[in-house]
Structure 1
Amino acid sequence: MSCRTAFARAFVAWLWRGPLLWLAGTVMLGALATPALAAGKDYATCFSDGKVSADQQIVACTPIAEDSAEIPDLRVNAYFWRGLASAQKNDIDHAVTDMTEVLALDPTYVPAFTNRAIAWESKGDFERAVADYTRAIALTPDDANLYADRARALNKKGEHDRAIVDCDKAIDIDPANEMAYGVRGVVWDDKGDAVRAQADYDKAESVRADPVTPYNDRIRSWIAKRDRKRAKADCRHIAGVDADKGRDCARLIAEAFGEPRDGETGPNPASAQNAIGVEWQEKGDHTRAIAAFDEAIRLNPASSAFYFNRAKSWGLKKNYARAIADLDEAVRRDPANAQAYRVRGMTMAQVGNSREALADLDKAISISPDDPKSYFERALVWEASDPDKAIADLDKAIALDPANADYRKERLSVQIGKRGTKLRQAPSAATGQAPVPVPR
């Protein structure tokens, strides 16, 4: 084996053997309003992320986890954090036990499946590890990392061909997934194919250095197949990594397919102005964005999308009256625009009109009942007047998107709020709400 191959394989092996805490992720915790939320229970220490020793965390979490009268979500998280603390001490048996308790209370808690799977791997029980990764994949089938994780366990189990299939699936979901290439390289090595192994090790190194190029390559493939929807999805991913490159790929798609037609044929000046407005919007210059959307609407006043985009800029400028007026036009011109109803509902809530907010969110849900965001936002409106309805909506959002940490955080916050106890933290960038210390 060459030195280069040995180095690449060592790097992949390091990825494979990271501690349980590595996969679980970390959470930045704020200070609690009081040292403990209830007599004899130190929530601050239990939900601390690396601020205390593993032994201290285990002692703090035990009375919370093992109290059957405690709020279920608090018990779930207490078992979870206690399990991570046990893993930190290399006490794998107790880590497995606590993750099992988490899943008994909440069978949709994906991080508990993944951490228990890693624990099984460390014990050499690859059959159970594969089973837990499979359950996690069933809950979040679009998570490329889970397929790469399961491939790793399958390879250790000796099922090399199944491992390659899982790596291929991970790469299909995320063509820049470094771990999937690295794991597949190890599988090829174990199958005795050094050439393919080295190619995958090289690819793992290249995507780590440049995660955008694989998506650009795939966008060109989608364009060749005339699949605009998938090309745009990959372009959105690029924009999340690099805004400038995201705009470049958007132009590439527009050149290949033409601008969205809004009832017209071929590229048109209105769509071009809308694209300019979106570009200014992404840069945070909402004055120029609004000017571009004004021109798009002048050229094509029938487009619901142009009013919706202008409403977003008005909302970000905190001119809620104009945002609502544009959203009124958006839904008038496209009564099936669930997103416009949802955003108008959020805006109504922002100005204190909870009755209209609920009506709009109800409408958004009736049009698009599988969108978890509408349930989540309706829950935020219900929180002040009916926490039970808020929890019911959060349950629905979690069922539709079980991997979303914000939904679980908010549910726990509502439950604690029903007790009259508050957790003090900085507002979440995603929700604007005060988050609570819940693992990812």
Structure 2
Amino acid sequence: MSMTDHRMRSARVARILVLVALAACLAACSARKTPDVAPVDSDVAAMRAKAVADWKKGNAADALAAYDGLVAAGVASAVDRNNRGVANLAAGNFKAAQEDFAAAIAEAPDVAAHHFNMGLALFALERFDECIRENDEALRLDPKMGMAANNRGMAWLRLNEPGIAVEDFTHALKIDPRLAVAYANRGGQWLQMGLYGEAGSDFDRALKLDPNNADVLNNRGVTFMESKDYGKAVALFTQAIRKRPERAHYYFNRALALERDCKFELAINDYTRAIARMSDFAEAYANRGALRMTMDDRQRGLSDLERACDLGLCQQYEAYRDRM
């Protein structure tokens, strides 16, 4: 078994949770912040109506262009700047989004959604202390905004404060017991703490609310793997893979469960699939190499360990090399 297994499992879960949270936040803010069209000047109203219609159709680039026109004409309202910020977030223009939300807040500082969205932009820019402050303000203005508590928890995680993060995820769930992402995130922290029962319970709640979430299926699989229920773990990793077959980490986790269940050839196949999807996956090379060495496939095993070392993971390669 690879010396890096425990570290890898933790890294995979933590990374996945961040992605889950951000995806949910973007979906929530984009759905919630679609404006009603206010009749102003006829041309301005037409531009605003086009922006809203394009966004509703999923044409984010066209919506962004329409909001750009409103800003360039000097007629953009606080709602327009907020909505352009949401479109910029969706396009990955995080600095531009932050500037848009700042303009919206300057004009309408008492709108919780503007602070919530500013928090998203600041999180994406890795300005976590400021992100926390914006979510504080969103919750002050709208104490029922559960997603703001969830997002604040994510920022605390990035500041290495898991205890505070768990409190925020719990706060989010008290506000909105149907907030699947908060169950998923809190479950991830229980998992990191080795509280597999609590983690599994939260992941089950998340899956009841969002049964097709591949990341949560993967994380639930990790709880079964840690509890040595390898059959259930493999089944859940397989479900996750079917939903998101491009995710290298799902194959890695399934390989790990198969390896622990002494199904070595199947494990090697899954490590190979993980590498096919992420060519610089050092841990997958290291685990496949170590497993091949134990199976007496020394030439290919050493080649894998050497490749892992080239990618920065040298401990096992050096240990085997020193014994040769």
TM-score tier after normalising by the smaller chain length: 0.5 to 0.7
**Residue of structure 2 in register with 1:411 after alignment:** 254
Partner of 2:91: 238
1:189-200 to structure 2, matched below 5 A, reads none
**How many pairs does the alignment contain?**
202
Out of 284, 298, 318, the residue aligned to residue 436 of structure 1 is: 284
* Letter of the structure 1 residue corresponding to residue 244 of structure 2: D
* Displacement of 1:419: 2.8
Give distance in 2, aligned partners of 1:419 and 1:222: 59
Contact 1:365-1:371 within 8 A present in 2 as well: yes
2:125 to 283, 298, 313: 283
1:314-373: per-residue Cα shift (whole Å, max 9, x none)?
111221221111111211221221111111111111222211110000011111111111
Runs of 4+ in structure 1 over 6 Å off: 420-424
1:397 aligns with 2:240: yes
**8 A contact 2:94–2:121 mirrored in 1:** no
Q: Judge conservation of contact 1:342–1:360 (CA < 8 Å) in 2.
A: yes
Quote the residue 2:193 is aligned against. 351
Find the aligned partners of 2:242 and 2:115 in 1 and give their Cα distance. 39
Q: Deviation string for 1:70-123 (max 9, x for gaps)?
A: xxxxxxxxxxxxxxxxxxxxxxxxxxxxxxxxxxxxxxxxxxxxxxxxxxxxxx
SS of the equivalent of 1:230 reads: coil
* Cα distance in 2 between the residues matched to 1:343 and 1:419: 31
**Residue of structure 2 equivalent to 1:331:** 173
In 2, Cα distance between the equivalents of 1:405 and 1:229?
31
1:402 to partner: Cα distance: 2.4
The 3 A distance-change label for structure 1 pair 417 and 436 is farther
Normalising by structure 1, report the TM-score: 0.40
Say whether the 8 Å CA contact 1:281–1:313 is kept in structure 2: yes
The amino acid that maps onto 1:341 is: Y
Equivalent residue letter for 1:303? M
Paired amino acid for 2:126 = G
Question: In the TM superposition, what is the alpha-carbon distance from 1:395 to its structure 2 partner?
Answer: 0.9
Q: How does 1:303-322 map to 2 (within 5 A)?
A: 303-322=145-164
CA RMSD, Structure 1 to Structure 2 (Å) = 3.7
Does residue 375 (structure 1) correspond to residue 214 (structure 2)? The answer is no
Q: Deviations over 1:131-172 (max 9, x none)?
A: xxxxxxxxxxxxxxxxxxxxxxxxxxxxxxxxxxxxxxxxxx
SS for the counterpart of 1:336 is coil
Equivalent pairs: percent with the same residue?
A: 23
Cα distance in 1 between the residues matched to 2:57 and 2:170:
27
C-alpha distance in structure 1 between counterparts of 2:57 and 2:186, whole Å: 26
Deviation at 1:228, TM superposition (A): 4.0
Cα distance in 1, alignment partners of residues 50 and 211 from structure 2:
29
Equivalent position of 1:227 in the other structure: 55
Deviates more, 1:411-420 or 1:328-337: 411-420
Cα drift, residue 435 of structure 1:
4.0
In the alignment, the residues of structure 2 paired with residue 309 and residue 281 of structure 1 have an alpha-carbon distance, to the nearest angstrom, of 9
How far apart, CA to CA, are the structure 1 residues paired with 2:131 and 2:177? 25
Matches within 5 A, 1:6-405: 223-225=51-53, 227-228=55-56, 230=58, 235-236=88-89, 238-239=91-92, 242-245=93-96, 247=98, 251=100, 268-385=110-227, 386-405=229-248
Q: Counterparts of 1:380 and 1:435 in 2: how far apart (Å)?
A: 17
What CA distance in whole angstroms lies between the structure 2 residues aligned with 1:304 and 1:341? 12
Give distance in 2, aligned partners of 1:417 and 1:267: 55
Q: CA deviation at 1:229?
A: 7.2
Q: Where do 5+ consecutive residues of structure 1 fail to align?
A: 1-31, 34-219, 260-265
Contact 1:378 1:393 in 2 (8 A): yes
Q: Which moved more, 1:337-346 or 1:395-404?
A: 395-404
User: Normalization by structure 2: what TM-score?
Assistant: 0.53
Task: Note the C-alpha offset of 1:301.
Answer: 0.9
2:239 alignment partner AA: K
How far 1:272 moved relative to its partner?
2.0
Aligned residue type for 2:58: R
Counterpart Cα distance in 1 of 2:161 and 2:50:
39
Structure 2 unaligned regions, length at least 5: 4-47, 61-85, 289-324
Closer, same or farther: CA 276–235 of 1 in aligned 2, 3 Å: closer
Contact 2:128–2:155, Cα closer than 8 Å, also in 1: yes
Secondary structure of 1:383's counterpart equals helix
Distance 1:229 1:393, change over 3 A: farther
Q: What SS class does the counterpart of residue 284 from structure 2 fall into?
A: coil
Q: Secondary structure at the match of 1:302?
A: coil
| Contact persistence 2:89–2:121 (CA under 8 A) | no
Q: What is the distance in 2 between the residues matched to 1:293 and 1:231?
A: 28
Deviation at 1:412, TM superposition (A): 1.7
